[in-house]
A and B are shown apart, each in its own frame.
Chain A
Amino acid sequence: MASIELVDVSQSFDKNTIIPRLNLKIEDGKFTVLVGPSGCGKTTLLRMIAGLDRQTSGSVLIGGSDVSAIAPGQRGVAMVFQNYAIYPTMSVRENIEFGLKNNKVPKEERTRLVESISETVGLRPYLDRKPSTLSGGQRQRVALARAMVKKPSVFLMDEPLSNLDAKLRVQMRVELIELHKKLGSTFVYVTHDQVEAMSMADTIVLMNQGEIQQEASPAEIYREPDNLFAAQFIGVPPMNVGDMGQDGVRFGFRPEHGLLSTEPADAHFTAKGVISTREMLGSETIYQVRTRDHSFMIKCTEDLFSVDQDIYLSVDESKLFLFGADEKRIYRDDRRHNTYLHALRGRFQ
């Protein structure tokens, strides 16, 4: 068990600065997901924790002690890579055993550990097979077993599910959550898929351009985004954002909070529009509504409208978010909040 702390770390390759300066504390035993668009520095961060790339400045602490000068194999971390990185010339057993052998674990214990782990991940019948004869999901399990068998205090995972098909991915997601519960060790998981982040994380660390945008639980990051980036990255479809036309302030609301009706409604934000597309997804339907100034995605549980239909859109006051010109959230206790909210009323009718 170990917490991870990054203190004033920066990372540059040649002359490209990937992470300018970053502080982050990852709690012991938590499932933390680093999420963000490609090139945001999340994998760089993970590799610094693993010790595969040394940070340009600052320090990395695992379990309270500085590991900056410690080799990757001795940090007590295990990592699962996106492409699994299984040793192709070794059998499944040898793959799982390799780390134990290097750590001079006696043979009987090795055999016992390999067998119990392979039982856990369902690889027992394949122990003597070569990785090339396994399916994608099975290779993924080999990679997981190889990490688990070392009983690391920290698990690092770099987009481990992105090479699997959609169905298997959902299944492995559940298995990873269960695994985390069972092991109770610190998980740091990198993904660009916000659905994965939302479904698995205790804490989401949202990153963009080498900087942390918000660090919170999935529910909080969804309900109370700190800034425009967080509001638009988390959620499918993302938050609708419109320009107020005043001081560069923008307003936003979640697709499920827009109400559609054929008659004008009395709500804080109302707009007249026309339905331009309709996506029927089964349990819900997503409409694209084009108003005079904007285009909004609206999620409805009922499928009542059709394309080209004239419609009224309304959003309740409590469901509206405001963002300043600096893209930071204007919270309710901010003095400007009421001014802008007032200005919004009736503006786009």
Chain B
Amino acid sequence: MLIQEKKQVGGKLRYRIRDHASLRLLKRLLGFVAKLAVLIVFIFPFLWMISTSLQTFEETLAFPPTWIPAAPQWHNFAEAMRSAPFVTYAKNSVIITVSVIVLQMIVMIPAAYAFAKYRFWGRNLLFGIVLLAFMIPGQVTFIPVYLMMADWGINNTLLPQIIPFMANAFGIFLLRQYFMQIPQEIIESARLDNASEFKIMQKIMIPMAVPALATVALFSFVSHWNDYFWPLVVTDSTAVRPLTIGIAMLRESEGVSNWHIIMAGNVVLVLPILIVYLFASKQIVKAFVYSGIK
């Protein structure tokens, strides 16, 4: 009798454990399907772009759509490059993006350090203003900034595409949060080691914040590399326009239906972002899971 009961109890227990296992499996399966769905949604346009960039004109118009081109049309890229002064565009894009990132670092690091580690009069108010700048949409400031640039007489050069973006409010915010996690004692130790504030930033804060800096730099890179509207507003000559506008202009020069050429141009536009992301992704993950040495 006793043994029977035990068995029953044991049997129930086993049954329940199996139940849990199958539930877990189901959960994992659902998770996998959901992730797959998200992946497809995100990757579809991307694969579509690459596929189209290698198709012939006829293939782009065919229905049902062609997924894998019969013969990859590599010359589409050459044609896209030939159809506009792409070297100038690319050069402008690089100058603008690199300058913006470098200037942002110069402004952002000391600002974030001060907000994180100094106590000074008006600190909270000033930081509030930074956050406000972070929250106001760009559309609100387009016109006043445009007028300001016009006043200075620098529209239609590279400068208005760089100067307004020198201070990156999001970057200051992110970096400040990061700096705040660094123990005060490390900075005090450095002060006792007779290091100047500049040296503390250069030798201690910056090396510790590399992941955060990489993240901010990547976000900045993507948003300025891809910026279309603002350069369109402040420039009107090919000599100072970036790649985004160049690609968009392919549509006009190539006619609305030459999708294979336009997509070839887009691949060229997106490629640098992919390359940079490959290098920076490790640092970005680090930035969000930061933990200091205990």
Contact B190 A87 (CB under 8 A): yes
A71: Cβ under 8 A from any B Cβ: yes
Q: Are A102 and B195 in contact (CB under 8 A)?
A: yes
Contacts of A139 in B (CB 8 A): 293
Contacts of B192 in A (CB 8 A): 50, 52, 72-73, 77-79, 99
Q: Does A81 contact B (CB under 8 A)?
A: yes
Is B183 a contact partner of A72 (Cβ separation < 8 A)? no
Q: A87-B186, A88-B208 are in contact. Are A71 and B191 (CB under 8 A)?
A: yes
> Which bucket holds chain A's interface residue count?
20 to 34
A15 to chain B, nearest CB (A): 15
Residue of A nearest to B188 (CB): A52
The residue in chain A whose Cβ has the minimal distance to the Cβ of B187 is: A85
Whether B82 is near chain A, meaning CB under 8 Å from some CB there, is: no
Chain B residues whose C-beta falls within 8 Å of the C-beta of A73 in the assembled complex: 191-195
Instruction: Give CA–CA (A103, B207) in the complex, Å.
Output: 21
Q: Which one of B188, B191, B193, B293 lies within 8 Å of A88 (CB-CB)?
A: B293
A73 CA to B188 CA in the complex, in Å? 10
A87 contact set on B, CB distance < 8 A: 186, 189-190, 203-204
What is the number of residues of chain B that contact chain A, defined by CB distance less than 8 Å? 20
* A130-167 interface bits toward B, Cβ cutoff 8 Å, 1 = contact, 0 = none: 01100000010000001000100000000000000000
Q: Check B294 for interface membership: any CB of A closer than 8 A.
A: yes
User: Is A171 part of the binding interface, using a Cβ–Cβ cutoff of 8 Å?
Assistant: no
Within 8 A of A (CB), among B269-294: 292-294
Residues of B within 8 Å of A78, CB to CB, are 192
Chain B 147-189 interface residues, beta-carbon cutoff 8 Å to A: 183, 185-186, 188-189
Q: Which residues of A, 83-103, contact B by the 8 Å Cβ criterion?
A: 83, 85-90, 98-99, 102-103
In the complex, whether A246 has a CB less than 8 A from a CB of chain B is no
Tell me the complex Cα distance, A99–B204, Å.
13
| Residues in chain A near residue B195, CB distance under 8 A | 73, 98, 102
Give Cα distance in the complex from A103 to B185, angstroms: 20
Q: Which residue of B lies closest to A136 (CB)?
A: B294
Residue A16 is within 8 A (CB to CB) of chain B in the complex: no
Asked if B12 is an interface residue, CB under 8 A from chain A, the answer is no
In the complex, which residue of chain A has the Cβ closest to the Cβ of B293? A88
Give the residue name and chain of the A residue nearest to B205 (CB). Answer: A89
Contact residue among B190, B196, B204 (Cβ-Cβ distance under 8 Å from A89): B204
Q: Which of A52, A103, A132 contacts B191 (CB 8 A)?
A: A52
9 further A-B contacts with Cβ under 8 Å, apart from A52-B191, A72-B191, A89-B207, are: A50-B192, A52-B192, A81-B185, A81-B188, A88-B186, A88-B208, A89-B204, A89-B208, A139-B293
